[in-house]
Structure 1
Amino acid sequence: MKRYILVRYGELSTKGRNKKRFTQQLAQNIKGVLADLTPNKVVAGHDYLTVYPPAESVDIALERLSHVFGIQSYSPVIELEKDMEVIRDQIFAILDGKDLKGKSFRIATKRADHDFYLDTNAINRYLGEAVAERYKELRVQLKRPDLVIKVEIREKYALLTTEVYKGAGGLPVGTSGRALLLLSGGIDSVVAGYMALKRGIEVEAVHFASPPYTSPQALQKAKDLAKILARYGRQIQFLTVPFTASQEAIKQNLPSPYLMTITRRMMMRVASRLAEERKALAIVTGESIGQVASQTLESMLAITDAAGYPVLRPLAGFDKLEIIALAEEIGSFELSIQPYEDCCTVFAPPSPKTKPKLEACQHYETKIDVKRLVEDAVKHTEVENISAHEINEFNDLL
């Protein structure tokens, strides 16, 4: 008898000749999130993937798999002899420890071995009658029962499970290339990162810090948000960009209504240079059309002009309540609303331009040394690896 976790592919089943590349990436990602649970083994097959965690760590592995993109569903399974009495007795062993009063059940059998001496209906009937006879408090219910006992008869063995966990869906992280996420520390950008990860993009987080105007707590908050993102497939590279000199130059030399637009244009220039160095293919932001002054279409046009790479906006069509709901779902909301200012808010003008003119932006930028400021910011950017495990309690920062 063997125990392991059976992982079922979702969208990957449509990938045709490219499927192997996707399944191998998924296997690599699962190995990454289970790396500290040793020994473990992950095997990618054509129709499903098997995970062999240490026996004492199965529950931990089941929880971590819920955050791995590319999985439709997964189940802890028991591999048994193809013997009906052995299968029946194992079902009894599982059910003996459960509170079954008032519950319903059904047997669901798949038979890949068509030479097996019982057909699907006969297996369902034999096991169903055995369970009903032993557990009088259980009732048979074919539609939407409380408990589904799944049996699969394969060529060399049988599989048994009573639990199916819903996977995160999407594509395995790393199958769609790499992008840089502008991670501010607010509600929106981390959700945008989650959406990018779900489409298979390997995300690296770029955070603009402006000490002393922004605090160490604000920086740590952004890192902890990156740790939340790291749960969803792989570790996150976190890039801290020193942005004080750029913001001071903009504040001292440019008219107030254009401060926000040109600040974001500078961010795009820095991010584009970093994307070139990091071999990224795009920049991801948490912008939502019309949410604030810098997110009107006119503002987005002026800001994107400064980018040398495609700018992906996964939340463009979301309203704030939808974004908050997703933030709560992934566990980032309470951290995001902690009151630490990011560099966009500490220098925010009282009346930012909602329809900035590109020509005006380009004219005002001649008043500062754009090239030098970008080069200095890129040169002094610090990079560190962020792991999903051991997320700091934010109260430690207070």
Structure 2
Amino acid sequence: MEVSTRYPHVIIIRLAPEMMLKAPATRKKFQKALRSNMQEGLERAGIEFDIIGHEGRMQVHTSDQEKALDVISRTFGVASYSPIDKIIDGGLEAHKEAAVELYKELVTDKTYAVRIKRLGNKKKFTSVEMERHIGGCLRPFAKKVDLDNPEVMIKADVAGDLAYFYTQKIAGPGGFPIGIQGNAITLISGGFDSVVAAWYLMKRGAMNDFVFCNLAGGAYERMVVEITKVLCDRWATGTRPKLYCIDFEPVINDLRANTAPEWWQVILKRQMYRAGCEIAKRIGADALVTGEALGQVSSQTLSNLNTIDEVSDIPVLRPLIGFDKEQIIKDARMIGTDKLSEKIPEYCALNKRRPAVKSGRNTIAKQETKMDFSVLTDMVEGCKIYDMFDVTDEDIAQHSVFIEEIPEKAIIIDCQPESLYDDWHVAGAKNYTAGKLMNSLRELKKTQPYVLYCPFGTQSAVLAERMQKAGYEAYSYKGGIKQLKRMFPNGAELDEE
């Protein structure tokens, strides 16, 4: 007899083995956290559901199986899960009839096997006995039984007279429920490494807030907000992560002016650590998390990491310290942020010629004596804070590619052919054809806005959008040259004044 439930779909959830090995009181605490996180994720997905504890597992009864499976697949603490094909009551004979009804077409002309998991203490038959009985009922329809590598695997969890039939056992993310291991601050740049590092801390049960040290202006910030939003929406169920955005341009200017170039990379990282530690102090975070992998860049040698660690007054955690780049990118693909992270340019390389691969704490401390640390303090105090679950699509969308006013200090780029540029252009505008502009992007700074124009505003819009995707704050002047001539009636004549 089929068991009717309030909702049409049931999903069995198996808890991560590490949770089951804990002492009873600890296990109960972890299970409560998992249930709470899953409930919040399902509610955020906007579906109807019940969560039921059953024989050391959980069941989600829901009206929308697809959405529920998506939430469960990204909830830490879940070892595996199975969408149930049917729940049958009535003992072995009823189970045999149900198996034939459910799976006779599925096993036709295929090899198959049956696996039974007995739950609870009421066991009229052993698992092997049930497998033989149910498997035997399906034998007339199939090619043959194959216990080692079947084309179809039929499974059932049996508790008393109840059997939960399914064919899929899907691996979950494992780990611990987020929130049971305290709070950490992740220094996030938007690249592959820091995002993956944050994910690994979440998997071990730590809540994550984020500190972003912005080295390249508004477009870069929007890209990092978007990446952090995707990470949190997908994986931070049960928490309320925040992103602290700190303008680091004045900090960079200070260290460039007052320290030797060979030490810039190390000093920049020390300033980032100081910023992260200050935010951690505000919110009571227990550790600083980075995406550093040993030897990946000059600041990540053992010598330089030792020098950088000096400024942190909380533990520094590096989940990726032994990873290679290929593994990190593979993990980013699984997490769902790889396509966004690959658009993030390298901003931290202040000195690309001869960055130091070895340093001493005393040497760097001496270099820093000329710096003005009130600059960093002021930038941290004035940081912008995003609550990631309150961030909207409008917040993370790139600015409209079109603009009707030219921002102060904007660089104006004329996208006309050179002959038309000579006939008329806005005073001070630099002439770049489309090809020349794309080939010259690396020569352009990312710390100030750009306004592009062309005869009709169409080609400049395409180029501005490409620049935005590359991390520049770029716009196309709406209305093109016709509108600009009203704004600048003297045009190129102003160049001569």
Q: Which residue of 1 aligns with 2:37?
A: 29
Deviations 1:229-274 (A, max 9, x none): 3222425322211222211111122111111111111111111110
Cα distance in 2, alignment partners of residues 58 and 27 from structure 1: 17
Q: Which residue of 2 aligns with 1:380?
A: 382
Cα distance in 2, alignment partners of residues 223 and 157 from structure 1: 48
Q: Which residue of 2 aligns with 1:301?
A: 306
Corresponding letter in the other structure for 1:29: N
Question: Contact 2:184–2:287 (CA<8 Å) still a contact in 1?
Answer: yes
Question: Contact 1:281–1:309 (CA<8 Å) still a contact in 2?
Answer: yes
Deviations 1:164-203 (A, max 9, x none): 1011121221111111111112221111112211211111
Deviations 1:303-361 (A, max 9, x none): 1111111100111112222222322332333321215454x23x345322211221122
Q: Which residue of 2 aligns with 1:264?
A: 269
Cα distance in 2, alignment partners of residues 388 and 15 from structure 1: 35
Q: Which residue of 2 aligns with 1:6?
A: 12
Deviations 1:90-122 (A, max 9, x none): 434543674x45422122223446656555444
Q: Which residue of 1 aligns with 2:360?
A: 357
**Root-mean-square deviation (CA), in Å?**
2.7
Which is further off, 281-290 or 352-361? 352-361
Offset of residue 145 of structure 1: 1.7
Tell me the SS of whatever aligns to 1:170: coil
Question: Contact 1:192–1:314 (CA<8 Å) still a contact in 2?
Answer: yes
Q: Which residue of 1 aligns with 2:60?
A: 51
Question: Contact 1:250–1:262 (CA<8 Å) still a contact in 2?
Answer: yes
Select the structure with the greater relative contact order (CA < 8 A; seq sep ≥ 6): 1
What is the 5 A alignment of 1:193-342? Answer: 193-210=198-215, 214-230=216-232, 231-234=234-237, 236-342=241-347
Unpaired segments ≥5 residues, structure 1: none
What is the 5 A alignment of 1:110-149? Answer: 110-112=117-119, 118-133=125-140, 135=141, 137-149=142-154
Question: Contact 1:218–1:341 (CA<8 Å) still a contact in 2?
Answer: no
Corresponding letter in the other structure for 1:197: M
Q: Name the CA shift for 1:130/1:379 in 2 (closer, same or farther; >3 Å).
A: same
Q: Under a length normalisation based on structure 1, what TM-score does the superposition of the two structures give?
A: 0.88
Number of residue pairs aligned between Structure 1 and Structure 2: 387
Corresponding letter in the other structure for 2:357: T
Tell me the SS of whatever aligns to 1:204: strand
Tell me the SS of whatever aligns to 2:76: coil
Corresponding letter in the other structure for 1:316: I
Cα distance in 2, alignment partners of residues 388 and 82 from structure 1: 49
Offset of residue 221 of structure 1: 2.3
Question: Contact 2:11–2:83 (CA<8 Å) still a contact in 1?
Answer: yes
Instruction: Give the percent of matched residue pairs that are identical in Structure 1 and Structure 2.
Output: 27
Corresponding letter in the other structure for 1:363: K
Corresponding letter in the other structure for 2:380: V
1:73 aligned onto 2:80: yes
Cα distance in 1, alignment partners of residues 121 and 264 from structure 2: 71
Deviations 1:129-188 (A, max 9, x none): 32223x2x4422122322222223313633222211011121221111111111112221
Question: Contact 1:229–1:388 (CA<8 Å) still a contact in 2?
Answer: no
Offset of residue 24 of structure 1: 1.1
Q: Name the CA shift for 1:307/1:45 in 2 (closer, same or farther; >3 Å).
A: farther
Unpaired segments ≥5 residues, structure 2: 399-464, 470-497
Which is further off, 383-392 or 144-153? 383-392
Q: Name the CA shift for 1:97/1:350 in 2 (closer, same or farther; >3 Å).
A: farther
Question: Contact 2:194–2:290 (CA<8 Å) still a contact in 1?
Answer: yes
Question: Contact 1:27–1:44 (CA<8 Å) still a contact in 2?
Answer: no
Cα distance in 1, alignment partners of residues 288 and 194 from structure 2: 12
Tell me the SS of whatever aligns to 1:52: strand
